[in-house]
Amino acid sequence: MKFDTPAGTNPIDQLKVIGRPTDRIDGPRKTTGTAPYAYERHDVAPNQAYGYIVGSAVAKGRITSIDTAEAKVAPGVVAVVTTLDYPPLALGKNNIARLFGGADVNHYHQAVALVVAESFEQARAAAALIRVDYARKPGKFDLAREAPTAPLEGGGSGEGSGAPKIDRVGKFEQAFAAAPVTLDQTYTTPDESHAMMEPFATIASWQGDKLTLWTSNQMIKWSKGDVAKTLGIPEENVRLDSPYVGGGFGGKLFVRADAILAALGAKAASRPVKVAMTRPMMANNSTHRPATIQRVRLGATRDGRLTAIAHESTSGNLPDGKPETAVSQTKLMYAGANRMTLMRLATLDLPEGNAMRAPGEAPGLMVLEMAMDELAEKLGMDPVELRVINDTMEDPEKPGRAFSERHLVECLRTGAERFGWNKRNAKPAQVRDGRWLVGMGMAAGFRNNLLMKSAARVGVDAKGVVTVATDMTDIGTGTYTIIAQTAAETMGVPLDKVVVLLGDSSFPASAGSGGQWGANNSTAGVYAACMKLRADAARRLGMDPSTATFADGKVSDGKRSVALSKVAGLSAEDAIEYGDLDKRFQQSTFAAHFVEAAVDAYTGEVRVRRMLAVCDAGRILNPKSARSQVIGAMTMGVGGALTEELAVDTRFGFFVNHDLASYEVPVHADIPHQEVVFLDYPDAKSSPMKAKGVGELGLCGVGAAIANAVYNATGVRVRDYPITLDKHLAKLPPVA
């Protein structure tokens, strides 16, 4: 199905199933522990052995020797595979760091060996017996040190955010110099870990020259190709199966070392092998959100209208890596005739920096929206009003190119009213509740909408059950449910008459899960397949496809009504393919975030008390699971603002706090009441579903709203995330 004109009225608009708050159909399996995650697939291949990864003990250098003699004769050991046994394996299309092979070490905890044994404990014990000698080389591990000489570098995240290395509209320098009110500040965001609950894990089994991987992965089609390329085998000889994923946040968009080493270990052991990364290895062996140093300059008239906007960001990565695209949203967020964005990229010998939930916009809005708060204070203006008067209904860099739908002002106004923003004391450090200093903060949110081809296969059986098969993944987002809702709505059957099969690369290729593109595109692909099935079913029943209706498990044409089960065995496959609507119209999502925070006047401890998100994200397919996505993102925003930071050992080049004891993510006690409001503005230019996705929008802007609330509470502005108590304790107002 080609989607190249705005959607008119279609079966989805019935809203009998779509748009209803619906319990997750995979919920019972998740809550009873019967959902089979990758490492738990004991049933898929007999006689599974256990693999344990050995990571490099240096961050940069060369391996001179690996002694495996003791490990090979340790109890239970089946095979030992080392990086010196192979030439450097090919890079997958989506990998920057080599996953295995060769003597060169490019980052700490790079995989250098795999021990395969009868039990996990035996594999782990034997791995400790391997002796690796290195010729260590000096490396670059300190972004602050490398930033002054970092070259300009453009790029994109691959999921909707990006910018040239430098981009200018108008005459920024002249406009900034002439502006009556200006702001020029530098901010930093730290390296962050995905810290998903389920580790990277894979079971590998060979049948002759054909490889099957039961793995935890967000993007099946991408990863199937990358596994084949990395191992040097035909893509048709690779099958990936990932029906349940216990969190990914972008870390599982790409193939990681667990998948490749499981495959190599299984080949060496001549039997299936399962590999899971240990928690400490996950931080350093896989990808992370890179740290940034960002400078924002804003110039405005005395009534708050922006006349000059500049946003610069410096991040670091391995050679051939990409920058963190933190300036992306600034190109689209606010009106302003004179604009400049630029990005710099330093070469660092740290683990690979890559996509983490809302790459670009998440750290970029942490900074831009704090800068807007600071400008509002300089102007003596309400922060909500500053954003309202600088709203724009067209791409500010491409006048005449309208947004498909943009209701940011309504988000701001609705949020302010519901949150009680008018009770905020604009003067900082004025509100106390016992020992607590209390403040309110807000920020705008933004995330682009990305359109991707997505396919599905749909069939009907003799009981009238509709089965959907697509390689789309459910990473905890509710994909099973919204796909079932789409099929039920389109085919006119109850939800319990739909079976959804996901995550198998033998199914039609979907958009996959990531960048908040999954819901809109995967359901649009299912819709396309269902519409093809509807047409085929109507023709088989002797009806006109253009007038046949599908409802209550029946197909009708006004003259007769036939049970859908009468076309048992019929199936159809189709894909949604997009034209140029996303080029003709800027497609984005918007939010307003409001936070009340309290700071202990004695200790500097920060507690978030209330949170509100108002989201403009097209049609909401399932308000219940969408709300779960947003409050999860808001929770991640609390971590990013207050606790999360991968501490870099700049001497030896590794992340020190590589476990959940020292890399602190929010827990239940950290999270207060969270309210989510969805505006109802279906976007007919996005897809037949008129949806756009919301899972990352819930994160974008939250960190700044928290930072702004902390400032309003204390009068101390902290511009270096996370806002830990040591950064403002000495400057807090007197206790007595």
Catalogue the active-site residues.
Answer: 696
Question: Between the CA of residue 542 and those of 537, 552, 559, what are the distances in Å?
Answer: 9, 19, 11
d(CA 380, CA 178): 19
Say if strands 131-136 and 61-67 run parallel, antiparallel, or are unpaired: antiparallel
d(CA 425, CA 414): 19
Q: Where are the alpha helices (DSSP H) in 286-439?
A: 361-379, 383-389, 408-419
Contacts of 377 (CB under 8 A, 6+ apart): none
d(CA 474, CA 502): 8
d(CA 77, CA 520): 47
Burial code (b: 16+ CB inside 10 Å, e: under 16) for 623-643 equals: eebbbbbbbbbbbbbbbbbbb
Cβ atoms within 10 Å, residue 138: 10
d(CA 616, CA 130): 55
Judged by DSSP in three states, 700 sits in: coil
Radius of gyration of the chain (CA): 27
Task: Encode 99-118 in three state secondary structure.
Answer: CCCCCEECCCCCEEEEEEEC
Torsion of CA 161, 167, 168, 169, to 10 degrees: -40
Structure tokens at 721: 């995330």
Contact 37, 216 (CB under 8 A): yes
Judged by DSSP in three states, 264 sits in: helix
Helix (H) or strand (E) holding 670: none
Q: The sheet that has 77-82: what strands, in order across it?
A: 77-82, 111-117, 49-55, 273-276, 201-207, 210-215, 238-241
Structure tokens at 651: 């001497």
Task: Report the candidate in 578, 359, 653, 621 with the shortest Cα–Cα distance to residue 480.
Answer: 621
Contacts of 306 (CB under 8 A, 6+ apart): 298, 299, 300, 334, 335, 336, 390
Sign of CA dihedral 457, 623, 666, 700: positive
Question: Between the CA of residue 278 and those of 52, 95, 128, 281, 661, what are the distances in Å?
Answer: 9, 21, 14, 5, 14
Contact 160, 448 (CB under 8 A): yes
Task: Encode 315-331 in three state secondary structure.
Answer: EEECCCCCCCCCCHHHH
Question: Between the CA of residue 389 and those of 329, 413, 589, what are the distances in Å?
Answer: 18, 12, 19
Place of tokens 């709505």: 489
Structure tokens at 580: 């140029």
Dihedrals phi, psi of 62, to nearest 5 degrees: -140, 140
Dihedrals phi, psi of 265, to nearest 5 degrees: -65, -40
d(CA 7, CA 690): 7
Whether the bond between 722 and the residue before it is cis, its omega within 30 degrees of 0, is: yes
Say if strands 104-105 and 166-169 run parallel, antiparallel, or are unpaired: unpaired
